[in-house]
């Protein structure tokens, strides 16, 4: 037999053996999207892992895999992250807790569990074991976090706020015709990111990870069902694909392994741009709500009754409110007045009641959309817009004034807008916009006094307006008062972590 045929035969045999050896590992589930922790409190946390067939995109998606995930949680006594809280009262660490959860097709192969009865301001480790069944478990991703100090303790806390994580604008998408203009503003889609680290995902995520915040807030537009516009995501499978391609990026996996999350959704990750609950187009309202509860750790898997608006007491100094801006809204096209609402009456009454009851030093409301702005005059779906929801905005701002909450250190944070700013309404309400996470999704902001803004007469005081536009995020740091009043720092950063604006608020 000629040597070349012998070589070819041997090579084919080696490849065949390799394929046979690899076959079992292909059948074993992976955790290609890492681990995600959410809804952190001083005594509890939600955690989820999606089982997958691969740990990278294949044909634009990450296919799921049935199996089980074993979650174990225990205190982190490694030394480097030991904290001084609770060490005097407790001589022994809390025991390890183990839970086994199925990953099933009906829930997109996501296994989720909730750990409760944790100790405040204590570092924990969550380890996972994954497999086809309980007899074939192997190590999965690990998560680390620190519980909140809670209402009775004062310790420094930091977090970041982001919006506008447009995957297609960053990575490029061969389905997008670059000559097609975006609706409304006639702006061409930008060229995708060209850095050699593109395969890792958004640079801002690495910058955030280096800051080691206590938690991460996604205010909405976490994925874009309507980018590209043709075809846009209109089925459950297509909607799920948007989340898969986002979370499989290595920088997300690295970040979420040590930073818990809170989530809100806005128009692009609900139905369509500036959308509401009207119309029979896809995705439907039912599909949109199903995806919210399935993909994001709001509640136990299968639970769609737990409210997506909620308040979290972080520490003695800090309490946060996360509002829901899509599920309960009336139609955008409705004439403005007492019946027109983004929040719904039940949520609005809850918001006002809990704000009045709070004794936190700083009260911060995180909204998917702006309330101060200014925004584009052409828009109609938020509280700042002339044809939007200004009546409800006035009701709320009047409430803040009448109840003296502006003297009790109340501040607004918003997403949605693609530029960073710090603005002050004539009532004294101050709002900080996180701006878009990625450069390709940023744009110049509207100036107070501009004809095409929602403040053409220039009543809004703009303490900071990002120029030139860039990707980035908002960092917030709560510092207890030791020799003076407690302080809350609002820090605008670009995607590389550079400080663009710093505003420090001392408790009144």
Look at residues 219, 475, 217, 215 and name the one whose alpha carbon lies nearest to residue 369.
219
Task: Give percent above pLDDT 90 in the chain.
Answer: 85
Q: For all residues of the chain together, what is the average pLDDT?
A: 91
Predicted confidence band of residue 474 (pLDDT cuts 50, 70, 90): very high
How far is residue 439's CA from residue 301's CA, in Å, rounded to a whole number?
34
Instruction: Give the domain ranges of the chain.
Output: 35-146, 157-506
Q: How many residues does the chain have?
A: 508
Q: Which CATH class is domain 35-146?
A: mainly beta
The mean pLDDT value for 399-413 works out to: 97
What contacts 503, CB < 8 A, 6 or more positions away?
422, 432, 463, 464, 489, 490, 491
- Say what the alpha-carbon torsion angle 204, 207, 212, 217 is, to the nearest 10 degrees: -20
For residue 449, the SS3 value is coil
Per-residue pLDDT tens digits for 125-143 = 999 999 999 999 999 999 9
Which residues have C-beta within 8 Å of that of residue 138, sequence separation ≥ 6?
28, 129, 130, 131
Q: Average of pLDDT values for 384-391?
A: 97
Residue 429 has pLDDT above 90, yes or no: yes
pLDDT (mean) for 71-77: 95
Burial degree of 484 (CB within 10 A; 0-12, 13-18, 19+): exposed
* CATH class for the region spanning 157-506: alpha beta
Predicted confidence band at 230 (pLDDT cuts at 50, 70, 90)? confident
Q: Tell me whether the omega of the peptide bond preceding residue 374 falls within 30 degrees of 0, making it cis.
A: yes
Please report which confidence band the pLDDT of residue 92 belongs to, taking 50, 70 and 90 as the band edges: low
Reported pTM? 0.91
pLDDT for the residue numbered 190: 78
Q: Do residues 477 and 491 make contact, with C-beta atoms less than 8 angstroms apart?
A: yes
In this predicted structure, what is the pLDDT of residue 189?
65
3-state secondary structure of 344: coil
Does position 4 have pLDDT exceeding 60, yes or no?
no
Q: Which of 402, 403, 386, 396 is nearest to 431 (CA)?
A: 396
**Pairwise pLDDT comparison (89 vs 506), residue with the higher score:** 506
Quick one: average pLDDT of 265-274? 97
Structure-derived torsion over alpha carbons of residues 432, 390, 324, 258, reported in degrees to the nearest 10: -10
Q: Cα 439 to the chain's mean position, in Å?
A: 18
Q: What is the pLDDT of residue 74?
A: 96
């Amino acid at each position: 037999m000629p040597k070349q045929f012998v070589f070819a035969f041997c090579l084919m045999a080696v490849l065949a053996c390799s394929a046979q050896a690899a076959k079992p590992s292909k059948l074993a589930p992976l955790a290609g999207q890492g681990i995600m922790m959410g809804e952190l409190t001083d005594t509890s946390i939600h955690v989820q892992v999606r089982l997958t067939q691969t740990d990278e995109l294949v044909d634009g998606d990450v296919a799921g895999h049935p199996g089980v995930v074993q979650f174990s949680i225990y205190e982190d006594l490694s030394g480097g992250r030991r904290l001084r809280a609770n060490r005097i009262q407790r001589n022994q660490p809390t025991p390890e807790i183990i839970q086994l959860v199925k990953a099933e097709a009906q829930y997109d192969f996501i296994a989720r569990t909730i750990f409760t009865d944790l100790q405040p301001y204590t570092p924990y480790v969550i380890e996972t074991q994954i497999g086809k069944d309980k007899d074939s478990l192997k190590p999965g991703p690990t998560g680390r976090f620190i519980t909140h100090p809670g209402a009775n303790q004062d310790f420094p806390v930091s977090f970041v706020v982001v919006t506008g994580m447009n995957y297609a604008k960053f990575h490029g998408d061969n389905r997008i015709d670059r000559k097609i203009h975006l609706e409304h503003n006639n702006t061409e889609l930008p060229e995708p990111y060209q850095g050699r680290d593109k395969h890792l995902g958004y640079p801002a995520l690495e910058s955030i990870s280096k800051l080691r915040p206590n938690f991460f807030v996604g205010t909405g537009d976490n994925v874009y069902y309507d980018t590209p516009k043709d075809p846009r995501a209109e089925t459950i499978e297509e909607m799920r694909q948007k989340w898969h391609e986002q979370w499989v990026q290595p920088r997300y996996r690295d970040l979420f392994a040590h930073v818990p999350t809170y989530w809100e959704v806005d128009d692009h990750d609900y139905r369509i741009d500036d959308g509401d609950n009207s119309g029979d187009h896809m995705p439907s309202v039912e599909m949109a709500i199903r995806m919210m509860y399935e993909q994001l750790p709001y509640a136990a898997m299968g639970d769609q009754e737990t409210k997506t608006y909620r308040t979290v007491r972080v520490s003695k100094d800090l309490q946060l409110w996360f509002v829901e801006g899509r599920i309960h809204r009336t139609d955008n096209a409705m004439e403005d007045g007492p019946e027109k609402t983004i929040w719904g009456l039940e949520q609005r009454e809850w918001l006002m009641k809990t704000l009045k009851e709070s004794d936190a030093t700083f009260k911060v409301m995180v909204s998917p959309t702006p309330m101060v702005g200014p925004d584009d005059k052409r828009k109609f779906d938020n509280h700042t817009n002339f044809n939007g929801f200004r009546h409800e905005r006035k009701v709320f701002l009047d409430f803040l004034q009448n109840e003296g909450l502006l003297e009790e250190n109340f501040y607004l944070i918003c997403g949605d807008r693609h530029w960073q700013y710090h603005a002050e309404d004539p009532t004294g309400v101050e709002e900080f916009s996180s701006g878009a996470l990625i450069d390709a999704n940023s744009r110049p902001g509207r100036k107070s006094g501009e004809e095409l803004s929602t403040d053409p007469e220039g009543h809004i005081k703009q303490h900071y307006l990002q120029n030139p536009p860039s990707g980035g995020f908002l960092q917030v740091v709560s510092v207890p008062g030791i020799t003076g009043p407690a302080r809350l720092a609002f820090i605008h950063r670009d995607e590389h972590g550079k400080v663009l604006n710093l505003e420090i608020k001392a408790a009144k």
